[in-house]
Structures are given as C-alpha cells and as structure tokens.
Amino acid sequence: MDDQTWDVIIIGGGGAGLSAAVSATERGASVLLFEAEETLGGSTQLSAGLFTAAGTSVQAELGVEDSPEKFFQHYMDLNRWLLKPGLIRAFCESAGPALEWLISLGVEVPAHESTNAHMPGLCQAGVEDLWRGHVPNGQGYGLVQVLERAARSAGVDIVLNTRVQSLLSDPHGVRGVVVDDEEIHCSAVVIASGGFARDRGLLEKYYPYALRAAESLFVAAGPGSRGDHLSFGEQVGAAVAGEGYGLMLPTAYFQSRHHWEAGFPPRSRIHVNSAGRRFMNEDASYAVSPGLIDRQGGSTWMIFDETARESLPGGYVDWNADNILAEVAAGRLLCADSLAELAEKMTVPAEALEYTVAAWNEELPAGEDPVFLRTDSLAAKGASEPIAPLDTPPYYAARYLPAELVCTHAAPEIDARARVIDRYGRPVPGLFAAGEAGGGVLGSTYVGGGNAVANAITMGRTAGHSAAEHRGSGRGASTESLTEETT
Ligand SMILES: Cc1cc2nc3c(=O)[nH]c(=O)nc-3n(C[C@H](O)[C@H](O)[C@H](O)COP(=O)(O)OP(=O)(O)OC[C@H]3O[C@@H](n4cnc5c(N)ncnc54)[C@H](O)[C@@H]3O)c2cc1C
C-alpha cells in the first residue's frame, strides 16, 4: 500500500460503505475500503433489507401515489420537527433515486404487495401513511451481495479484517487514515463504520435508554458495531447528532436473538399493563410500541394460553413450546390454571384481567377490536384465519419490554451532502459520513420499517459522490445532482 494513493478511503463495508464505494467510483474516484470483520455486510447483511422510499417505480406499478414531499412531511411530523429539515428533505428526495439505483445494479424488488418485512415486495411495515416499505429479494444479505459485486467490478480495493484506528488530519482537513500503525493518504474519507450497539460505555453515554432492559437486553446489531465513528468524530471536533435515539424492539424478557432465530410469539396473545388492562394493539409497529410500553409506567405483560403455547412451531431458539415450559420451571415465566391466579402472581387486579380476556375473547375471534383496531393490522399482515380465543388453561404471562437493540442513532452530525459538521457548524474538509455513522437522519421516532437501511444506502451513496467531488473541487457534490439522477 505504501506506494499507492487513493482518492477516497471508506471505513466500513456495510450498506453505507459499499454504497459510498460504488458511487464514488461512478464519479471517477479510486477507492480503498477497509472492513474490520472477516466479511463485508455489517448489520446491513443481517437485516431484512426493508427500505423506505417514496415515488418509486415499484410504488407506481402498484398504483401507490406517493412523493418525496409527502414522505418529508410524514417524516418530520413523526419526529416532531426536531430534525434538520434541509437534511431530511435531501434524504426524502434521494431515497427513491437510491432505490432505483440499487435496482439498476441488480437488486430486485418485486412489484407485488408484501404482508411482512420478510416477503419481497412492497409493504406497509410501520406507521407510514402509505405503502413505502420495499423488501428486496434476498433481503439485507441480497443487497450486500449486489453492492459487493458492483464495488469489485468497479475496481474498489477492499481490505478485510482491518480495523481503521484513527483519522489523519491537519488544520486543512482530513488527509487519510491510520491502519496497523501505518498512515495511508487520500483526498477524502467516508466514515461508514456503523453504530455503537456493542459498546456498553457508549450506550451509557449516548443511548442509556437501551440499558433499562437490564439483563433482558440483547444486541442484534452486527459484531462491528463498536462505535469507532464517535472517536473519529471526536478527533476532528465533530458535532454529535441523534444523542439518546436508537431502535429497541419490544420482546418477551426471555428472547435472546432476532426473530429470524428466536421465532415469533403466538398470534393469540394480549398485552396488558400493571392495571391488568390492554394498552396497545399487539401488532403495533416498533416505530411506536416502545413509547406505548414506556407510558405504562410499570410492568407490561404478554398473556397467552395453552393452545397458543402448543401452536408454536418448532425449530426456533426462544419461541418454542418446550422453552416456554422450561422458563416456567425456572420460575421466570408466570403460569396459572386460572386468570385470577395468574393475576395474583402478576400483582394486577384479577377483575381487570378477567374482564380484559373476556372482552378480547368476545371480540377478536369474531373479527372485531373496536378499541385497538388489531383487526386492521391482522388484515395488513394477510391473516385470513380468525384469531383463536384465549380460554385454555394453563395461562401464561411473560414480562414484555423493549429489549432488542437493533441500531443506534448518535453519530457525527452530517449535512445534506453527507459532510461531517464540526461543533462550530462548519463542514470538516475531506470528511464525510453515512449510515449509523452519520448523525441527523435517524431521529427519535423510527420512520417505517426501512428507515435505517434507506438511510445507509441513500446517504452512503450521497457520501460517495460528495467525497469523489471533493477530490476535484474541494467542494461536495450538490444534492440536486443526486436527486435528478433517477433512472
Ligand atoms: C437483525 C437486524 C435487522 C434489521 N432490519 C432492518 C430492516 O429491514 N430495515 C432497516 O431499515 N433497518 C434494519 N436494521 C438496521 C439496519 O440494518 C442498519 O441500521 C444499517 O444497515 C446500518 O448500515 P451501516 O452501513 O451504517 O452499518 P453496518 O451495516 O453495520 O456496516 C458497518 C461496517 O463497518 C465495519 N467497521 C466498524 N468499525 C470499523 C473500523 N474501525 N474499520 C473498518 N471497518 C469498521 C463493521 O464491521 C461493519 O461491517 C436491522 C438491523 C438488524 C441488526
């Protein structure tokens, strides 16, 4: 490496880094990418690949009338306008073109309706007003395969098993990186090293909410999510955006893996609070369900019966019929022959729990749920069978809480061109960031299904273009030039 130079160095080979690499080569830059792990992909390859975007060809084929303007309004409203409108407008305008770009590289998103994040097609995965969740064939793994192929065929030099230690900078900006104690020079650096879900100290500092799950906390994010972006940012005095934000999925206390492996709770279940009352649609999107749980101010529970337990399919680690019994035997999962007895163990009022279950049994199996509208979400998931009543003892109660840490949002702040911004509000010359490593796009409320992958790919692509442009002019690429490039 000593006698070679590159225009752009990219730190991290997940969705953002690979997108940045491919897009920088499209602007004629030579690119060197370092990946700390043995393989490319990071959290992106573990994901469903669900990608939120507006005004796409897939939506058009299905007759969904959408636009970046509608997406922007929805995004800002959901985040109570706490994000920078200019950055979010650029993201919302660029997400559709980024999806079309992926399609042009070989990603397939079939133009049919999908009822969940694991079925390729277009779905309404979260609380979005319109169908915006694009699920690709092969999911996150498929996205990474396509991007890796594109990067290799564009001549990107990829170095695996190599963790970048620090940035090289001088008063004029960033000039390269240090790896294996060696200095490697370039014109621009893109930080795409993902989040910090696996670093407890950084969680304490930037996302202490995650630690409220205590011993139930488990991290789904990739092994490379160690938070190096925050130390790179500190080196150059970068501002931090997205502090206190991240994505925690609610799970039963005993779940220990993402549901690919953990399995799924039974469809016939009720979520109740410490008053013994239902407080949410049990299918509520993870965009809002952690907030609903937090508002209960105490324990929340998932209740199901013996029929539901017996109906759990085998082959999954956590949600299988035997594991439920093992948790009961260990004294961790509550079990009783009557609802009154279960209520006593839960320390919730028995009359409330009995009434809640009786009302649920009357309404849900008959296809009605006037208070929480679960019937709507079951229909959106393509459920055709009526939901079974909860009337077969014994009954079970599992603590239910936000405990699965998927991604973190605090990172060096970026602007619409993916330039890293310093504490004084100035762009740091030669430094760009994207994905979980680029702060400001992912806010307090997760938009979609598909917010984080869309952020990684869209802002990664922007960062690659801007970094390549920086080499020539010292100025980043304009946002307009990216959004006009819809294929
Ligand atoms: C199980 C799971 C399912 C998910 N499903 C979805 C979904 O369907 N839709 C959605 O929108 N979001 C989803 N997410 C979140 C989303 O996948 C991530 O937020 C997003 O893909 C992050 O992309 P990234 O490129 O920023 O980071 P990553 O994909 O994590 O890539 C960062 C890479 O940088 C490497 N790296 C770190 N430090 C260094 C260093 N110092 N030097 C060199 N390399 C380094 C890491 O090893 C890693 O490979 C999911 C996440 C998980 C864990």
Q: Which fold, 248-404?
A: Flavocytochrome C3; Chain A, domain 1 (3.90.700)
d(CA 243, CA 348): 35
Res. 389: pLDDT tops 70: yes
Render pLDDT for 92-139 as a digit per residue (tens, 0 to 9).
Answer: 999 999 999 999 999 999 999 998 888 999 998 777 778 999 999 999
Question: Which pLDDT belongs to residue 110?
Answer: 96
Which residues' Cβ are closer than 6 Å to ligand 1?
Answer: 11-17, 34-37, 42-44, 46-50, 117, 140, 163-164, 192-194, 220-222, 224-226, 228, 258, 406-407, 435-437, 450-454, 456
d(CA 93, CA 73): 12
Res. 37: pLDDT tops 50: yes
**Mean per-residue pLDDT, 4-21:** 95
Res. 474: pLDDT tops 50: no
Angle subtended at Cα 3 by Cα 2 and Cα 5, rounded to the nearest 5 degrees: 95
Res. 30: pLDDT tops 50: yes
Coil vs helix vs strand at 187: strand
* Among 46, 35, 153, residue whose Cα is nearest residue 105: 153
14 CA distance to ligand 1 middle (Å): 6
Best residue for ligand 1 mutational test, from 190, 191, 453 (most atoms within 8 Å of Cβ): 453
**Mean per-residue pLDDT, 316-339:** 97
**Mean per-residue pLDDT, 254-279:** 95
Question: Which pLDDT belongs to residue 480?
Answer: 34
- The whole-chain average pLDDT of the chain stands at 93
pLDDT classification of 477: cutoffs 50, 70, 90: very low
Q: Pairing relation of β-strands 133-135 and 173-179?
A: unpaired
Residue with tokens 């999954």: 316
| Domain 6-245+409-483 in this protein, CATH class | alpha beta
Question: Which pLDDT belongs to residue 485?
Answer: 34
192 CA distance to ligand 1 middle (Å): 9
Per-residue CA distances from 170 to 121, 190, 463 (Å)? 47, 17, 21
Q: Could you tell me the residue ranges of all domains in the chain?
A: 6-245+409-483, 248-404
% pLDDT > 90, the chain = 88
* Among 436, 461, 417, 442, residue whose Cα is nearest residue 100: 461
258 CA distance to ligand 1 middle (Å): 14
Best residue for ligand 1 mutational test, from 47, 99, 226 (most atoms within 8 Å of Cβ): 47
Per DSSP (E only), the strands in 260-410 are: 270-272, 301-305, 334-336, 395-408
Q: Whose CA is nearest to atom 3 of ligand 1?
A: 47
